[in-house]
Amino acid sequence: MVTPVTLRRLRADHADALLAFEKDNRAYFAASVSDRGDAYFTADGFAARHAALLAEQEAGVCHFHVVLDAAGELIGRVNLVDVADGSAELGYRVGRRAAGRGVATAAVAGLCRTAARSYGLVALTAVTTRDNAASMTVLARNGFTATGDRTAGGRPGIHYRRRLLGL
């Protein structure tokens, strides 16, 4: 069963829920991606990083989103970074409690539509490690095609691309 999700563009008032989400899932995320480091999880460190993300978003170089479940709880994030020339790189993470329920697949599908319709993007790229079968499945289910090898967090990975025309 796929969990229904809602995407919301990152705002300043998401900070507390986002920090709680990141703290609750720190060990879970660190098992598959590089840890953000202790400074990220301090109130001051997180506040500075959150403000920097909002500034990047305001400048139009990135588009950050929180993923909410039907009850409005923050269960993931999905982002577009390095926006340029009609393209951006996709990144996402879903918390441990929501994993395996189709949340990432639904969130990526929603962001692909938003990228085309709201941000005017024509293509997205993504990278995942070769040992992250779940992420490879999410990308494949959303029409991404493997285009070659890439390093991800110092580990062997795969680069993907998806055209967004017609969404």
**What string of H, E and C letters represents the secondary structure of the chain?**
CCCCCEEEECCHHHHHHHHHHHHHCHHHHHCCCCCCCHHHHCHHHHHHHHHHHHHHHHHCCCEEEEEECCCCCEEEEEEEEEEECCEEEEEEEECHHHCCCCHHHHHHHHHHHHHHHCCCCCEEEEEEECCCHHHHHHHHHCCCEEEEEEEECCEEEEEEEEECCCC
Query: pLDDT tens string for the chain (167 positions)?
Result: 566 899 999 999 999 999 999 888 888 887 777 667 667 767 788 889 999 999 999 999 999 999 999 999 999 999 999 999 999 999 999 999 999 999 999 999 999 999 999 999 999 999 998 988 999 999 999 999 999 998 887 889 999 999 998 76
Q: Please state which architecture CATH assigns to domain 6-163.
A: 3-Layer(aba) Sandwich (3.40)
Per-residue pLDDT, 37: 63
